[in-house]
Amino acid sequence: MKKKLIGLTDEELIKEFQDNNTIEAYEILVNRFKDPLTNYVFRFLGERDICTDIVQDTMIKFYIHKDSYKSFAKFSTWIYTIAGNLARNELKRRKRRVIFSLTNDDPEKQVQIEDKAFVSPERATDSEIKGELVQKALQKVKPVYREVVILRDIQEFSYEEIAEMTNLSIGTVKSRINRGRKHLQKLLKNIYSG
């Protein structure tokens, strides 16, 4: 049964799940979208643990409200919209509380918070360090710009799809993407040369 379902598109799978409550169809969709969604939410929020919870909640909402999906829209647009809403809610909650974290949850990896002035050009070429710096720079971009930049440049969605997910006009989407990129460019001018 599962082998038959694997070849179906996202929209066909969700329809199968809606009509026949086929749990395998649901599992295939979860498998397809868990990684991209985790990557999207992580880049938006910057925290690993909470992003897993948010993606879990997204899948649960998908499971509970499967009938709210309408077939005229793309499934990826629908599920990214859910994940984006939950991520934004989490961001708002964060603003209302102050979190002091003195220890790193991952015992194997030690993350040192460094001052920019101490980052030498040689160290900046290390992809891991670079990734962290880019992530930190992304966190400094305004959330409304950050979200659309991630959807465009990392998740590689079209402007139309992004407009549908964020419930904005295409013009606004493009404008926000450019502003986000501009700000990011300023922040990353030390490391992206070459």
Partner 1 sequence: MNKSGYNFKDDQFKDVSKILKDLPKVNAPDNFEYNLKVKIDNNNFGLSTGNEKTFSWWKVFVPASGLVAASVFSFFFFSNSSEKLENPFQLQPILRTEISSNILNATGLGNFLNESYKINDNDVVVETITKPEPTTKKNDLVASEVKSYSLAREKVVLPFDTSNSTDLDAAIGNKNNRRNIDRRASLANAGSPNASFNGFYLGQEVDKKYVEAMKARIDSLKKNYLIKRQQQRAGAIK
Would you tell me which residues interact with partner 1 (CB under 8 A)? 27, 30-31, 34-35, 37-39, 42-43, 48, 50-57, 59-61, 63-64, 86, 89-90, 93, 96, 127, 131, 134-135, 138, 149-150, 152-154, 156, 170-171, 174, 178, 181-182, 184-185, 188, 192
State the nearest-atom distance from the C-beta of 125 to partner 1, in Å: 13
State the nearest-atom distance from the C-beta of 67 to partner 1, in Å: 15
State the nearest-atom distance from the C-beta of 72 to partner 1, in Å: 25
Phi, psi of 120 (to 5 degrees): -80, 155
Q: Which residues contact 5 (CB under 8 A, 6 or more apart)?
A: 13, 16, 22, 24, 25, 28
Closer residue to partner 1 (CB): 70 or 96 = 96
Phi, psi of 175 (to 5 degrees): -60, -45
Closer residue to partner 1 (CB): 73 or 188 = 188
CB 79 within 8 A of CB 37: yes
Closer residue to partner 1 (CB): 9 or 23 = 23
Separation of alpha carbons 131 and 139, rounded Å = 12
Closer residue to partner 1 (CB): 6 or 71 = 6
Residue 149, phi-psi category: left (phi > 0), alpha (psi -120 to 50), beta (remainder): alpha
Closer residue to partner 1 (CB): 50 or 144 = 50
State the nearest-atom distance from the C-beta of 191 to partner 1, in Å: 8
State the nearest-atom distance from the C-beta of 2 to partner 1, in Å: 14
Q: What is the DSSP string of 44-65?
A: HH--HHHHHHHHHHHHHHHHHT
Angle between helices 10-20 and 23-45 (to 10 degrees): 130
Among 154, 150, 151, 141, which residue's Cα sits nearest to residue 180? 141
State the nearest-atom distance from the C-beta of 134 to partner 1, in Å: 6
Closer residue to partner 1 (CB): 10 or 153 = 153
